[in-house]
């Protein structure tokens, strides 16, 4: 008998991030929709954050080596550009709200 050996998962930590109210509401609606579709919202978000962090780190490293003298920053938190908190549209309705259900075999929505 073959046994599938798995390595231990990396220990997890909590990251607290303050976001605009409208984004929080949109993310909550997306989380509910993901749950209805059988998608692990948290794992998907962690993967997206990891990619974002890696890309930003690389971009900042390239930018810094080209334009910023060592030990200096281009922007400080006080003069960073601010975004409007209402940039997030209303979340799309789930398939169930449109009279559709999800076909688990196909991973698509079908009419009831």
Residue 112: its pLDDT value, please? 41
Who wins on pLDDT, 58 or 83? 58
Single pTM value for the model: 0.53
Who wins on pLDDT, 107 or 10? 10
Rounded CA-CA distance 47/87 in Å is 23
What is the count of structural domains for the chain? Answer: 1
Average pLDDT over residues 30-38: 96
Rounded CA-CA distance 109/72 in Å is 52
Answer yes or no: is 15 within a domain: no
Answer yes or no: is 56 within a domain: yes
Answer yes or no: is 97 within a domain: yes
Answer yes or no: is 8 within a domain: no
The alpha carbon of residue 6 and the mean position of all alpha carbons in its chain are separated, in whole angstroms, by 26
Q: How confident is the model at residue 75 (pLDDT cuts 50, 70, 90)?
A: low
- Domain residues for the domain of 49 are 21-62+88-111
Answer yes or no: is 58 within a domain: yes
Residue 80: its pLDDT value, please? 52
Who wins on pLDDT, 94 or 31? 31
Answer yes or no: is 69 within a domain: no
């Amino acid at each position: 008998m073959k046994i599938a050996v798995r390595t231990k998962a990396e220990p997890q930590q909590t990251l607290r991030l303050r976001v605009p109210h409208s984004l929080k509401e949109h993310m909550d609606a997306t989380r509910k929709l993901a749950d209805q579709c059988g998608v692990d919202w948290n794992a998907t978000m962690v993967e997206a954050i990891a990619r974002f962090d890696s890309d930003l780190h690389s971009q900042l490293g390239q930018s810094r080596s080209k334009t910023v003298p060592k030990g200096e920053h281009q922007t400080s938190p006080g003069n960073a550009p601010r975004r409007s908190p209402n940039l997030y549209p209303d979340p799309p309705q789930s398939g169930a709200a449109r009279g559709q259900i999800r076909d688990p075999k196909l991973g698509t929505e079908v009419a009831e």
